[in-house]
Amino acid sequence: MRRFPFTIQHRDPAGAARVGRFETPHGAFDTPAFMPVGTRASVKGLTPDQLRDAGAQIILANTYHLALRPGEDVVATMGGLHRFMSWSGPILTDSGGFQVFSLATLNAVDDEGVTFKSHIDGASLRLTPERAIEIQEALGADIIMAFDQCPPLPAPREQVQIAVDRTIGWARRCRDAQRREDQALFGIVQGGLDLDLRMHCLEALVRLDLPGYAVGGLSVGEEPEEMARLLRGFTGAMPVDRPRYLMGVGRPIDILRAVDTGIDLFDCVLPTRNGRNAFAFTDDGFVRLRNSQYKTDDRPLLDGCACHTCARYSRAYLRHLFLAGEMLGPMLVSLHNIAYYQRLMRRIQEAVAAGTFQSMLADCEARATRSTQNEET
């Protein structure tokens, strides 16, 4: 039996969407799944109990940021990441590879690894594949990510090729450096929008026989249609018996399109970032709470939503909190947004199981089109 069982329970009869369950040392989670992002061992503005009540089963933290502050040794001394942040469920840690892209002005990349200049105090931090694994083993997450190089888009093919070659070599070094057997190491497929480079990277990573595989390097500058086209041509080539993780993609319509290609796992900062900026997710687009039309609106953010925010507070009150600069506003809207995403994932799971996912996708496509048209007018 594989150490980290992944069971496919339902498949969409008209597409590639699927429902599964992945088991970890800190419990199982259902897929397709959306992970709230707790970069520094905290999902901004929300407690672990609130996340659980909203339906979250797995969350994400970040190797680079936790290595800088408080340091993986502190986390290990405090009993590991689960105990440190009081989250008993599964945790995934990113390897720091995305920061190679997002903090490009603060790092220098070579074939051995990356040297960062800390965005906090300017101190030097050296990350290699071996060091990324060492940090993640100290943090104690259930799923750990191989160190990779995420190229920007658009980029010359030669630049993407270099990133792919490094990503393959670094993944092999990560596998060889891993000592803990209770952590599932996922490889990350790079290659930009070049399908041939993606296939080359995937084939090399599959030979490492890892417990799961991620698609990295998307939602970094390309148009949503370009990402969707790449996934349609690529996801089906990924191992069918391992979880497929699309990193950093979070618009609801993009999630649905990716699920249709067979993707199982997602993360993004959109729910909490938008929540902090008075944007609430609904099936028909955003409620922009700073708009004057909500000044005396007694309705919840979303009719039928069972989250704590919608059960107790009106749009008018939430708008007031933002205009008054009260921290409760960002907290409540972030909570609603996380609950909305978790509800979306449950609806996807139910639709796939019932054989109605294609209808759900078509309805969401139509709603997204109407929302875009309304924003433009």
Fold entry, domain 6-268: TIM Barrel (3.20.20)
Q: How many angstroms separate the CA atoms of 77 and 98, rounded?
A: 27
Interatomic CA distance for residues 197 and 238, integer angstroms: 14
Indicate if 94 belongs to the active site. yes
209 catalytic, yes or no?
no
Cα 253 from chain centre: 15
Q: In what order do the strands lie in the sheet with 6-11?
A: 6-11, 18-24, 27-31
What's residue 316's pLDDT?
98
Q: What are the distances in angstroms from CA 177 to CA 128, 313, 319?
A: 11, 50, 51
Where exactly are the structural domains of the chain? 6-268, 275-376
Q: Which of 142, 264, 267, 283 is catalytic?
A: 267
Q: What is the DSSP letter of 37?
A: B
DSSP code for 104: G
Question: Position of tokens 């800088």?
Answer: 68
94, 142, 254, 264: which is the annotated catalytic residue? Answer: 94
As a whole number of angstroms, the longest Cα–Cα distance in the chain is 61
Helix, strand, coil share (%) of the chain residues, nearest 5: 45, 20, 35
- The pLDDT value recorded for residue 1 is 43
For residues 308 and 28, give the distance between their C-alpha atoms in angstroms, rounded to a whole number: 25
Indicate the residue type of 231: L
**DSSP letter string over 333-361?**
HHHHHHHHHHHHHHHHHHHHHHT-HHHHH
CA distance 293 to 238: 47
Written as tens digits, the pLDDT of the chain (377 aa) is 468 999 999 999 999 999 999 999 999 999 999 999 999 999 999 999 999 999 999 999 999 999 999 999 999 999 999 999 999 999 999 998 888 778 878 788 999 999 988 888 888 889 999 999 999 999 999 999 999 999 988 899 999 999 999 999 999 999 999 999 999 999 999 999 999 999 999 999 999 999 999 999 999 989 999 999 999 999 999 999 999 999 999 999 999 999 999 999 999 999 999 999 999 999 999 999 999 999 999 999 999 999 999 999 999 999 999 999 999 999 999 999 999 999 999 999 999 999 999 999 999 999 988 877 776 55
CB 91 within 8 A of CB 60: yes
